[in-house]
């Protein structure tokens, strides 16, 4: 290549890097406990070092606790939450399979799109964005279609809606011998979930949300019923990188498959230990409490959260902005003037919704206060009228309510 060309570009590189310090209150990646950051600088290990394989055993136990399962198979994929979705589908679907996907937002849509790309005949059951799926409608569809696989989202990141009745959907799937896949990327570690009680067969998540690790690993668990299905496939999984039988040989017998990232493994372990020491019940309660205070603050400013309280995740909120206030503009102001990262809406809600994540280390009183105070300033500057401090006071009042 022309030497000069590259050099010019690279001379502009700031070295070393000084990224701005942000408060990460979007629906992921979320704030990291300092212990998690520190873990990444521990001495790296090779991918089959006996010490690494011992850490795998610890991770399996810690992941089972997070998933609330007794499944033997519990690992973390070397990829993000999207890799978790890809793995759940590509291992269980064979081309031509009938599949039922429930959609109530962007990630349900993504499930359907991915299943179609894998050659499945997909029947969709759609709920309007902002509400959960109707379990009766799904059951009827499952009885009619008799699919091999049913996929639903437990916590829909795009809307802040939770699907609390997955046990009913799982029961319908099992009537016709289908596997039930549940996406818990936005819920695991922050919103109550017991996947064994719900009879979920395949469950995946991402490391970077309510689990409180950096992005890059995707927790995944399958029960024995799902493992049997994967083992009895007619054809091997076309995606070798995410092939569960090969990953099982790696995580359970130390047989090389890929070079796992030691820093990410250390960070995930540290994050799961934080969860273990806090306890799932306490952690869910903390998320619920801080989310309720945030909702009270938002409502005191005259705004609404898309999901009704009874269908609302404790981790992610879709805040609807006043008419005439642009979500992209508010997002930019929060980032530029307050160093707070939030997200805009996805799909139809892009221009009029802010998406807020209060997850893991980020679900703390002081982060909620900082966000509400900044939002008050930004909204007031854009002509929205409310009593100064109303959001903060309402949140505080909510925390003080037993």
Task: List binders of its own copies among 88-117 (CB under 8 A).
Answer: 90, 110, 113-114, 117
Minimum distance, C-beta of residue 287 to its own copies, in the bound complex (Å): 19
3-state secondary structure 41-60: CCCCCCCCCHHHHHHHHHHH
By C-beta, is 119 or 302 nearer to its own copies?
119
> Rounded distance, CA 287 to CA 359, Å?
7
What DSSP character marks residue 371? Answer: H
Choose the stretch contacting its own copies; rule: CB under 8 A; options: 142-150, 240-248, 304-312, 359-367: 240-248
Q: Considering only residues 33, 39, 230, 369, which one is a binding residue for its own copies as defined by CB under 8 A?
A: 39
Write down the least CB distance from residue 168 to its own copies, Å.
Answer: 21
Residue 189 found at the interface with its own copies (CB under 8 A): no
Q: Out of 192, 245, 254, 263, point to the residue binding its own copies (CB under 8 A).
A: 263
Tell me which residue has tokens 């930019």. Answer: 332
Is residue 255 involved in binding its own copies (CB under 8 A)? no
**DSSP class of 312:** B
| DSSP codes, 317-355 | EEEEPPTT--HHHHHHHHHHHH-EE-EE--GGGTTTEEE
Instruction: Return the HEC string of 388-399.
Output: CCHHHHHHHHHH
Nearer CB in complex with its own copies: 42/390: 42
Q: C-alpha distances in angstroms, 102 versus 78, 90, 140, 267?
A: 26, 17, 12, 33
CB of 370 to its own copies, least distance (A): 15
| Beta bridge partner(s), residue 182 | 152, 203
Which one, 361 or 386, has the nearer CB to its own copies?
361
What whole-number distance in Å separates Cα of residue 128 and Cα of residue 158? 12
- Report 138-177 residues binding its own copies (CB under 8 A): none
Contact pattern from residue 41 through residue 60 relative to its own copies, giving x for each residue in contact according to CB under 8 A and a dash for the rest = xxxxxxx-xxxx--x--x--
Beta bridge partners of 155: 162
Per-residue binding string, its own copies, 195-234, x by CB under 8 A, is -x---------x-x-----xxx------------------
Instruction: Tell me which residues in 327-356 interact with its own copies (CB under 8 A).
Output: 335, 341, 343, 346
| Chosen residue from 33, 56, 64, 320 binding its own copies by CB under 8 A | 64
Query: What are the counts of helices (DSSP H) followed by strands (DSSP E) for the chain?
Result: 14, 15
Ordered alpha helix ranges (H), 28-134: 34-39, 50-67, 81-92, 106-117
Q: Which is nearer to its own copies, 147 or 206 (CB)?
A: 206
């Amino acid at each position: 290549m022309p030497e000069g060309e590259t050099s010019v570009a690279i001379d502009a590189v700031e070295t070393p890097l000084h990224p701005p310090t942000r408060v990460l209150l979007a629906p992921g990646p979320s704030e990291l406990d300092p212990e998690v950051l520190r873990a990444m600088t521990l001495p790296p290990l090779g991918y089959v070092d006996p010490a690494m394989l011992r850490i795998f055993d610890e991770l399996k136990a810690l992941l089972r606790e997070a998933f609330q399962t007794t499944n033997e198979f519990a690992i973390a994929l070397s990829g993000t939450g999207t890799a978790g979705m890809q793995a759940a589908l590509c291992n269980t679907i064979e081309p031509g399979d009938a599949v039922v996907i429930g959609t109530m937002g962007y990630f349900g849509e993504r499930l359907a799109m991915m299943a179609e790309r894998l050659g499945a005949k997909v029947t969709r059951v759609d709920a309007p964005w902002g509400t959960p799926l109707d379990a009766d409608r799904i059951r009827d569809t499952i009885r009619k279609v008799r699919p091999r696989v049913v996929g639903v989202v437990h916590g829909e990141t795009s809307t802040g809606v939770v699907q609390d009745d997955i046990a009913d959907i799982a029961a319908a799937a099992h009537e016709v011998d289908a596997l039930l896949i549940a996406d818990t990327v936005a819920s695991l570690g922050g919103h109550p979930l017991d996947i064994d009680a719900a009879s979920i067969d395949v469950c995946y998540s991402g490391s970077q949300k309510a689990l409180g690790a950096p992005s890059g690993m995707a927790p995944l668990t399958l029960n024995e019923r799902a493992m049997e299905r994967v083992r009895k496939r007619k054809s091997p999984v076309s995606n070798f990188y995410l092939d569960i039988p090969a990953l099982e040989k790696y995580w359970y017998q130390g047989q090389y498959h890929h070079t796992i990232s030691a820093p990410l493994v250390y960070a995930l372990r540290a994050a799961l230990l934080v969860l273990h020491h806090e306890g799932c019940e306490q952690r869910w309660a903390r998320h619920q409490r801080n989310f309720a205070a945030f909702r009270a603050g938002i409502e005191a400013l005259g705004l609404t959260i898309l999901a009704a309280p009874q269908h609302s995740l404790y981790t992610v909120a879709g805040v609807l902005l006043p008419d005439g206030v642009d979500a992209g503009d508010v997002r930019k102001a929060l980032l530029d003037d307050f160093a707070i990262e939030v997200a805009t809406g996805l799909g139809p809600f892009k221009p009029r919704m802010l998406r807020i994540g209060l997850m893991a280390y980020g679900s703390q009183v002081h982060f909620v206060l900082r966000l509400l105070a900044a939002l008050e300033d930004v909204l007031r500057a854009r002509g929205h009228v409310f009593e100064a401090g109303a959001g903060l006071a309402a949140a505080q009042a909510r925390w003080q309510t037993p």
